[in-house]
Amino acid sequence: MIPPVLLVGCGRMGSAMLAGWRERGLAPSVAIDPAPAARAWMGPDLTVVAEPAAIPSDFTPDAVVFAVKPQNAAATLPDYVGYAGLSVFLSIMAGRTIGGMRALLGEEATIVRAMPNTPAAVRQGVTVACPGEGVDAAQRALCEDLLRAIGKVAWVQDEALLDPVTAVSGSGPAYVFLLAELMEAAAREQGIPPDLARLLARQTVAGSGALLAASEDDAAALRVAVTSPGGTTERALAVLMAADAWPAAMSRAIEAATQRSRELAG
């Protein structure tokens, strides 16, 4: 059973987390989101309100979860100062540092900063979390339970690692979707009908991901296993793995996303 939670933001990631919590059983909780569509989440276990002033006065959550855009942090977080010392704060806002959030929430605030990714919507996400100063074992365990409801969880003590984590796994689904998009387009260029091109691209990406998840081999070994000497795969990989192709492009992409994550903390 998930204990009472105050969820701030019912967007894509917030609603994915909420769905995961409900599957595990959610104690009566509150969500805040001004969008009319958020009312669809209401139920016996959840009250949805449009603003903090409408939170029931007798409600004290075990955790306050910030699932809002990082650009809105300065305007949003001060409304929850009253929960400092009473609830653990769990943030999934990209780039927003624990120190920056504590400046908005007060020195008593205990904060866990986390970076999930969008496969959370199908409970296949991966989240990396970092505990701030003062987070005790029970609060860390609660945050782990909240995050495990949407996939796997790993912890780091060095908060600076969350910037490259954001670049790799937080933004990573977009890279995979781009791969499927480009494979589909290339298939159509070779004369494959659109419906079949989409099926081949999507199922190849999805199936390969499932194989990778199920295998004890690393990705390089799986790649080698499907690459016959002198075959079609070897010819294609000679293009993709050229020094100025995928290896360099991926490195630059991860570096650019890491830098943007650092900028968002400003």
pTM of the entire predicted model:
0.92
CA nearest neighbour of 132 among 167, 90, 95:
90
**At 262, is the pLDDT very low, low, confident or very high (cuts 50, 70, 90)?**
confident
**Residue 203: C-alpha distances to residues 11, 180, 196, 225, 229 (Å):** 27, 9, 10, 19, 25
CA nearest neighbour of 15 among 135, 35, 3:
35
Sequence-separated (6 or more) residues with CB below 8 Å from residue 147: 90, 114, 116, 127, 129, 153
CATH homologous superfamily of 172-264: ProC C-terminal domain-like (1.10.3730.10)
- Give the rounded percent of residues in the chain with a pLDDT score beyond 90: 96
Q: Is 205 exposed, middle or buried (0-12, 13-18, 19+ CB in 10 A)?
A: middle
The per-residue pLDDT of the chain, averaged, comes to 96
**At 175, is the pLDDT very low, low, confident or very high (cuts 50, 70, 90)?**
very high
> Do the two domains 5-157 and 172-264 of this chain adopt the same fold?
no
Q: Give 108-151 pLDDT, tens digit per residue.
A: 999 999 999 999 999 999 999 999 999 999 999 999 999 999 99
Out of 3.40.50.2020, 3.40.50.720, 3.60.15.10, 3.40.50.740, the CATH code matching 5-157 is 3.40.50.720
**At 86, is the pLDDT very low, low, confident or very high (cuts 50, 70, 90)?**
very high
Residue ranges covered by each domain of the chain: 5-157, 172-264
Average pLDDT over residues 143-166: 97
Q: Give 178-201 pLDDT, tens digit per residue.
A: 999 999 999 999 999 999 999 999
Average pLDDT over residues 218-245: 96
